[in-house]
Amino acid sequence: MTASALRDFSRLCLHTMTTKPWSIETAIARYAAAGVKGITVWRQWLDGKDPKGVGQMARDAGLEIVSYCRGGFFPARDRQGQQAAIDDNRMIIDEAEALGTQLIVLVCGAVPGQPLSDSRGQIRDGIGAVLDHARSAGIRLGIEPLHPMYADERSAINTIRQANDLSDFLQDPLVGVVVDVYHLWWDPDLQKEIRRAGQAGRLFAFHICDWLTPTEDLLNDRGLMGDGCINLREIRGWVEDAGFKGFNEVEIFSNRWWQQDQDVFLEAIKKAYLAVS
């Protein structure tokens, strides 16, 4: 089923990466003033900051901290590297708890030249190794499958089916799936696997943007909703049919938009959100 139009901004969340030129203080102030209700904080925005203080600032401004982005990057060439990744993820869990969010987005990682099957095993073991820590912090871990063009160095988890299978294997209510339309829109199994995630109670987050033609940069040329070819409203319908009631998180990495006035960009996001999301 195709979802009905969104009428207000009560479920609109922005990733701090979307307005990359803005500091965390500016992002919080401008989002709140624009009527945005959610914020997903990327880790580099906390550099040199007290996560607890940033979390309080966001809540005081009326923003819910939807998630902390990002943990993961578990695969490594040797045991030492794998252990370092596990230690880093424990620290990320502590930061998320201090920030006051209940979800960490996992970009699972990959190592160029290392067989993907090896990386997937390390991802499974890495998540398993931090689960107790996540449990004591009350933090959920959302596996975000990335488009296969990133299988070399960003994620060996490339389809929602893989994320569901991994969640099935780990069998923990803290482990679930993040649906990002940019990574998954092409998948013929998308509707079926979204339903599967919903039935298992593990549909944790929904990220939106658009796919531009031609895409000029593999990482930083995402489009504003409606400027590309993703069947966004249809996918949102599937996500809502699967029981998801959370935020629509706008996550746009765009060299084009980052060169613009970010207040103009924010207004364009709001307009596109109501028109096409």
* Cα dist from 69 to 11, 121, 177, whole Å: 18, 22, 14
Q: List CB contacts of 231: < 8 A, sequence separation 6 or more.
A: 185
Name the minimum Å distance from CB 167 to Zn ion: 17
Is the CB of 29 or the CB of 186 nearer to Zn ion? 186
Phi–psi pair at 69, nearest 5 degrees: -125, 115
Is the CB of 99 or the CB of 146 nearer to Zn ion? 146
Is the CB of 82 or the CB of 102 nearer to Zn ion? 102
Grouping H, G, I as helix, E, B as strand and the rest as coil, residue 200 is coil
* Cα dist from 259 to 69, 150, 204, 263, 264, whole Å: 23, 25, 32, 12, 11
For residues 207 and 236, what is the distance between their CA atoms, to the nearest angstrom? 10
Binding residues vs Zn ion (CB under 5 A): 180, 207, 251
Is the CB of 121 or the CB of 230 nearer to Zn ion? 230
Amino acid (one-letter) located at 255? N
Is the CB of 129 or the CB of 257 nearer to Zn ion? 257
Name the minimum Å distance from CB 88 to Zn ion: 20
Identify the residue whose tokens are 């706008």.
250
For residues 188 and 191, what is the distance between their CA atoms, to the nearest angstrom? 8
